[in-house]
A = this chain, B = another copy of it.
Amino acid sequence: MSEAPRRGTASDATPPKPPIRDSLVAAAFQLFLERGYEQTTVDDIVTLAGVGRRSFFRYFPSKEDVVFPDHERCLADMTEFLSSGSDDDDPVERVCDAARLVLRMYAENPTFSVQRYRLTRKVPGLRAYELSVVWRYERALAGYLRERFAGRRDGTLHADVIAAAVVAAHNNGLRSWLRSDGQGDAAAAVDHALDQVRDTFGAGVSGGARITPEEPEDVVVVISKRGTPMWRVVREIESSLRED
C-alpha cells in the first residue's frame, strides 16, 4: 500500500519509503538477529514490515529466500557472464572470474554478508538452503566447462571436478574473509585460492617452460625455468608421458 512503488517516471533519488521487498528483508534480518531465525515467524516479519502476510510470499517463495535476496540476480549475472565469453578465453580462467563475480556480490555489503554468514552457520535449514544455492552456481560453471570440453575424453568428468574445485576454493577464501568479520581483503583471499586451482588445472604452457621428451625408451627429461608456474609444466609432462 501507500505510495511510491516507483513505477516509471524519472524522478527518483531515494524515495522516502523503501519498496516492500526491501522492507521485508530489513525487518526479517532485524528479527533474525534479535531472536534467531527459527524463533521468528513470517507473521512477525510482515507485522514489523507493515505489509500483508500474503505479500511476503509474493516476493519470496519461502522463508529461507529472504536471507539470500540477491542470489537469484547473481546467478543470472554469472550465466550471462559465462555465455558472453569468446572461444579464445581460457575455460579455467573464465570460471575463476565467474566465481569472482559472486565474491563481489558478497563484498559489496560486508556487514550484511557477515551477519548472514553467522546465521547460516547456526541454522541447519539455512545451511541446507545455501548449499542448494551454491550447487546452482557450481552447475552453471560445470555446464560451461562441459561445453568447452565437449569431445574431450572424460570431458564432463573434468568439467565437474574443476567446477567443484573452483567453488571449494572460492568458498574457502570467502569464508576466511567472513570469519574475519569482513576486515581482511576478500578479493586477495579468493584470488589466492583460485590461483591454486588455476595452477592445478590451468591450461597449457604459456610462461617459459622448455620441455624435452627424450630417451624414448623409459626416461623423460624436463628443463624448466625456476619461477615458472610449475603446474603449467605439468600439463606438458603429462602429454609426453602419455604419448604411448
Binding site for B on A (CB under 8 A): 124, 127-129, 131-132, 135, 154, 156-158, 160-161, 163-165, 167-169, 171-173, 192-193, 196-197, 200-201, 215, 217-228, 230-231, 233-234, 237-238, 241-242, 244
> How far, in Å, is A158 (CB) from chain B's closest CB?
7
Neighbouring B residues of A165 by C-beta, 8 Å: 161, 164-165, 168
In the docked arrangement, what's the CA distance between A237 and B172, Å?
25
In the docked arrangement, what's the CA distance between A64 and B234, Å?
45
In the docked arrangement, what's the CA distance between A109 and B193, Å?
39
In the docked arrangement, what's the CA distance between A196 and B127, Å?
30
In the docked arrangement, what's the CA distance between A227 and B238, Å?
10
Pick the contact of A237 from B157, B163, B233 — CB < 8 Å? B233
Q: Oligomeric state, in number of copies?
A: 2
8 contacts between A and B (CB under 8 A): A128-B132, A157-B193, A160-B168, A163-B168, A218-B227, A219-B223, A219-B224, A234-B234
> How far, in Å, is A233 (CB) from chain B's closest CB?
7
Q: Is the CB of B157 within 8 A of A164?
A: no
Q: Tell me the nearest residue of chain B to A242, going by C-beta.
A: B230
Pick the contact of A222 from B157, B201, B224 — CB < 8 Å? B224
Q: Is the CB of A172 within 8 A of B156?
A: yes
Neighbouring B residues of A200 by C-beta, 8 Å: 161, 200-201
In the docked arrangement, what's the CA distance between A11 and B72, Å?
56
Neighbouring B residues of A129 by C-beta, 8 Å: 128
> How far, in Å, is A95 (CB) from chain B's closest CB?
13
